[in-house]
Each structure stands twice: as structure tokens, then as C-alpha cells.
Amino acid sequence: MTRERPRRPSIKDVARDCGVAPSTVSNALTNRRFVLPETRKRILESAARLGYRASTVARGLRMQRSWSVGLLLASISNPFYPEVARGVEDVVAESGCHLILCNTDYQDDKQDRYMRVLIDRQVDGLILGSHPDERHLQELRNAGVPFVLLNKGHGRLRGDYVGIDNRGGIAKAVEHLAKLGHRRIGFIRGHPMSGAADDRYDSYRDTVERLGLVRDPVLVAPGRYDYVSGKVAGSQLLALKHPPTAIVSSSDVMAVGAIDAIRSLGKRVPEDVSVVGFDDIFMSSLPSIQLTTIRVPKRDLGVAATRLLLERIGGQRADQPYEFSFPAELIDRATTAPPKPAGRAKSSAA
């Protein structure tokens, strides 16, 4: 025999318990209209005692809000994203909304599915930390769903954007190595589906050309923002006939993989090869790593994107799309040093 599910206390139960009209209870709980202080106190005490909770669904129907915000991330396994997500969650929680987190793994089919789910659930807004597709952005606009692009812009369709100075950060990394005397600098690209990765590669290429450093396509290795691809890329670069004396990686995780590859080949960091990462994740400052890297304010990125989205949702911004990029900062630690002097040629004298 199945037991009946207990009935949730309603606003009428609170009104009956206090001897007031349901509208008075509603006004007291929402602060919409004046209610005598002693009456409000009695209503709040009754609601707590009875276990009454306002229906989010009912409130949403009344105010045309779902009180939810969606966050699409490209890869939650990337240590860059948890700090960003924490910033988003902190602001969403303060606003009285709740967060729906979706991880796309850079897969178009997963992004398609999550987009449909979030639109069907009528989220109030969406933060896109995955790879934005023109079709998806147009769907959001057609559905009237505000959105903010998170560190991944879209060339053809402009929208609210909050990101980091990807180009400036990589430029600082290459300039730092050039000042130390490096001329042959390798580069590990980010995920092929990432617009931010494209910006970082473009900056590497432009900065190498601007500074008159060695330009050679073989100095660029593919990566996917993970440890394994970083290790493979490091091995690939060091296997060259003329390997680089320094490597710039599009992420710290790949930089750590490259360092392990360098050491496994009997080389030292930074004595034989210097390495610079990007992101300044937690592990980068550990005593056993001490990675020179580009620091970006990850939590602040999430906070700023969410505040902008909530302003759009609340109608506080009716102007043109807003774009903002946080500056990137070089953190000089223990994985960079001047290149080793070239070995002296043996004398030909007998």
C-alpha cells in the first residue's frame, strides 16, 4: 500500500493560522505593500512554523520569470573553468536565482541538446562559455533570451561579451622570453574549437614577427587544453632538428605536460628549455612547479559576466552590446631563464 504524499502548506494555511486574508500574507512575504509590523512578524513566524515556502513556479508564471540562469562551459575538467563557475554561482545565488550548469566537451551535439533544454525551460538568461555558433545565438535572440559571451566572441554576430585580453597576454609571454634572449620560441595551440585559442595563436604569430624572432611553422604544435596534448606537443617540439629554446603554451595544464615531456627527455627546465603557461591555475604556484604564466582574474570573469547578464534580464541595460576584457598579467616564476650559450665549436688545429 502506497503512502499518500504529504500536502505542502499553502498561503491559505498561513492566512487561516494568523486570521488574516491570503492577500495580506502575500504582501507580508513579498514586501509589495504595507503591512503592520506586528502583523508581518506574526505571519513570518507562522510561515516558518508551518513550513510554508513560496512556489517558485507560481511566482515565475506571475512575473514571467523562471529565476534560473544557464551556464554552458566547454570543458569543466579544464581547471580554468571551476573558478569562473564559482564567480557565476556566487552572483546568481545573491540574486535569488539558481544556476543550471551544462558541460559541452566541445561537442556540437551536446551543445545543441543543452541549448534546446535551456530554451525549453525558459531560463531568464544564458552565459556562453562554450564555442558560440551563429545558429545558437540566433535561436536565443529569436526566443528573447539574453546572453553573454564568456571569453569567446563571435565574429559575425555581436553580443554582450566579457573576456580576458588573450592577445595581450600571449604578447607579454613572448616579449618576456625575447628579453631573456630567446629567438626560437615554440608555441602550443589551444583547442581547435576555441575562439580564445585562435586569438592566442594569432598573437604569438604577430608578436614573433613584430620582434623579428624566428618564424617557422614547425615551431607550432597542436593542443587541446589538456595535460596529454601538452606532453605530446612538448615531445614533438623537442624532437625537431632545431628545437626551440623556449615554449609558450596556451594553457597551464598543457605547459605542465610539456615540462614533463622535456624532463623525460633528459632536459632541464629552465636551464635547457624555458616554459610559459597561460591562466595561472592553482597548481602553477605549487613549489614543485613554479610555472611562469599569464595570470587572468578567473572568478572576476564569472562575476562580471553574471552581473551584466542580470542587468540585461532586469532591463537595466537597453543600450548596444557591451564588451569588456580583463587585462592579463605576466607572473615570472621559476620556469624561464636566458637560453644556454651555444656550445663552442671544436678547434680544427692539429
Give, as one character, the DSSP assignment of residue 218: G
Structure confidence by residue, pLDDT tens digits, 139-174: 888 888 899 999 876 556 678 999 999 999 999 999
Decide if 295 contacts 281 (C-beta within 8 A): no
pLDDT tens across the length of the chain (350 residues): 444 556 677 788 888 988 988 888 877 776 656 788 888 888 888 887 877 766 544 444 344 467 899 999 988 888 999 999 999 999 999 988 899 999 998 888 898 899 888 888 889 999 998 876 778 788 888 888 899 999 876 556 678 999 999 999 999 999 999 999 999 999 999 999 888 899 999 999 999 999 999 999 999 999 999 999 999 999 999 999 999 999 999 999 999 999 999 999 999 999 999 999 999 999 999 999 999 999 999 999 999 999 999 999 888 877 788 899 999 999 999 999 999 887 543 433 33
Q: 329-331 and 293-295: which strand pairing?
A: antiparallel
Structure confidence by residue, pLDDT tens digits, 279-289: 999 999 999 99
- Written as one string, the DSSP assignment of 83-138 is HHHHHHHHHHHHTT-EEEEEE-TT-HHHHHHHHHHHHHTT-SEEEEES---HHHHH
Report domain extents, the chain: 11-54, 66-163+298-325, 166-295
Pick the CATH number of 11-54 from 1.20.1440.230, 3.30.70.270, 3.30.565.10, 1.10.260.40: 1.10.260.40
Q: Given this model, what pLDDT does residue 14 score?
A: 84
3-state secondary structure 29-47: HHCCCCCCHHHHHHHHHHH
Decide if 186 contacts 220 (C-beta within 8 A): yes
Same topology between domain 66-163+298-325 and domain 166-295? yes
Q: How far lies 279's CA from each of 85, 117, 227, 256, 344, in Å?
A: 15, 31, 14, 12, 38
Q: Given this model, what pLDDT does residue 350 score?
A: 30
The CATH architecture that domain 166-295 belongs to is: 3-Layer(aba) Sandwich (3.40)
Q: Given this model, what pLDDT does residue 54 score?
A: 60
User: pTM for this structure?
Assistant: 0.79
Q: Given this model, what pLDDT does residue 32 score?
A: 59
Decide if 250 contacts 233 (C-beta within 8 A): no
The CATH architecture that domain 66-163+298-325 belongs to is: 3-Layer(aba) Sandwich (3.40)
